[in-house]
Amino acid sequence: MRFYYRHSRGVTEVVVGKGLPYGDYAERAVVLIEEGLENPLPGAPALVLKGGEGVKSLDALTQVYKFLYEVGADRSTTLVAVGGGALLDLATFAAGTFMRGIRLVQVPTTLLSMVDAALGGKGAVDWGHVKNLVGVFYQPSAILCDLRWVETLPERVYRSAFAEVVKYGVALDGEFYNWLRENVPRLLRREEEALEQAVYRSLRIKASVVEADEFEERGIRNVLNVGHTVGHAVERVLGLLHGEAVAVGIVAEAYLSAEMGYLKDGVVEEIKALISSFGLPTAVKPGDSELEEARRLLLYDKKRRGDYIYMPLVVRVGRWVLERVRPEEAAKALRYVVY
């Protein structure tokens, strides 16, 4: 399956399938790849880094710059990034800043990076517990989603992706939401046809939002941040995988929407049940200091403008609004998911 999306730097090719032609993207390529993964372009110079959230650091960014400098990369070079969402975020930041921008091809190797991180151009590193504090918007030239990589994913990592997939259905596409509810068992069994559908539909939904508001300045792309106001506040404090934190965030923010008179209680419980059916958490048990730190982290949400956080709230399945919420109100959403 293939499609293209348009943006400020041109057009990005998106391919979803099994056993992709990596060699077609090898011209003047250098590779940034996660430790433990098989390099799809073995003839190209490569930098190997340990994957996972810790790679989103200024130290790792400097290592990538040093690698690009030492291999003589220039503006005709293509950086091919092979890894999970954390490594792809680092690669986007590096490619978007080295010589003020070199070509980037994303090869996502987790389901979450396939359905979300690889597309849309958000690159960043973390700053202590603050997620994605420093980064860029920089679009890749191509995104190669090869479902073969999914075969080796640990169960917890695999399931974490479904928070982002459910996000698309809950906030933007009721028909996809219903498809998900009907196909949980096939997706948990990693059935290829169901997986290809979930990845392709997720990416089409995300691409249409990015085309409408690439730099998140028109109040449209905020929707892709559903669940992330609370999610980012708890993710690093509680050592959750990103998808797990977003799952908790989607539930917390659904309750907040209901409290504001939008979502019906029955729908909140239905969304919570879908998230649970993917084996994802819907509540957390922080200590007092962790809860305090989570409240503090809300202030570093990039959707905040002055005294308000501009939160995307689901008002009914497939529909959302942008709501001005004071950080202390957003913090109240935490109480719905703390036990």
Ligand X SMILES: NC(=O)c1ccc[n+]([C@@H]2O[C@H](COP(=O)([O-])OP(=O)(O)OC[C@H]3O[C@@H](n4cnc5c(N)ncnc54)[C@H](O)[C@@H]3O)[C@@H](O)[C@H]2O)c1
Ligand Y SMILES: O=C(O)C(=O)C[C@@H](O)[C@H](O)[C@H](O)COP(=O)(O)O
Q: Which is nearer to ligand Y, 116 or 146 (CB)?
A: 116
User: Whole-angstrom Cα distance, residue 290 to residue 87?
Assistant: 26
- The stretch among 48-56, 99-107, 221-229, 327-335 that binds ligand Y (CB under 6 A) is 221-229
125, 56 in Cβ contact below 8 A? yes
Is residue 129 part of the annotated active site? The answer reads no
- Binding track over 60-99 against ligand Y, x by CB under 6 A: ----------------------------------------
Q: Which is nearer to ligand X, 218 or 264 (CB)?
A: 218
Pick the closest to residue 146 from 38, 306, 281, 68 (CA basis): 38
Give every CB contact of residue 243 below 8 A, 6+ residues apart in sequence. Answer: 112, 159, 160, 161, 162, 163, 164, 280
Q: Does residue 7 have a known ligand-binding role?
A: no
Q: Give the number of residues in contact with ligand Y, rule: CB under 6 A.
A: 13
CA atoms within 13 A on the CB side of 86: 19
Q: Which is nearer to ligand Y, 146 or 216 (CB)?
A: 216
Work out whether 7 is an interface residue with ligand Y (CB under 6 A): no
- Binding track over 198-217 against ligand Y, x by CB under 6 A: ------------------x-
Which candidate in 53, 225, 304, 323 is catalytic? 225
Q: Which does residue 109 bind out of ligand X, ligand Y, none, counting CB within 5 to 8 angstroms by kind?
A: ligand X
Q: At residue 52, what is the residue type?
A: G
Is residue 228 part of the annotated active site? The answer reads yes
User: Whole-angstrom Cα distance, residue 67 to residue 147?
Assistant: 29
- Contacts to ligand Y from residues 137-176, by CB under 6 A: 164
Q: Does residue 323 have a known ligand-binding role?
A: no
Mode of pairing for the β-strands spanning 78-83 and 319-325: unpaired
Rounded least distance, CB 200 to ligand Y, Å: 17
Beta bridge partners of 41: none
Q: Does residue 85 have a known ligand-binding role?
A: yes
Q: Which does residue 230 bind out of ligand Y, ligand X, none, counting CB within 5 to 8 angstroms by kind?
A: none
Tokens matching residue 188: 């948990």
Question: Where do the H-state alpha helices sit in the chain?
Answer: 58-70, 85-97, 111-112, 155-172, 174-188, 192-212, 228-235, 242-259, 265-277, 288-297, 327-333
- Binding-site members for NAD(+) are 85-89, 109-110, 122, 131
Active-site annotation, residues = 100, 122, 164, 206, 217, 221, 225, 228, 232, 242
**Interface residues toward ligand Y, by CB under 6 A:** 116, 120, 122, 124, 131-132, 164, 216, 221, 224-225, 228, 302
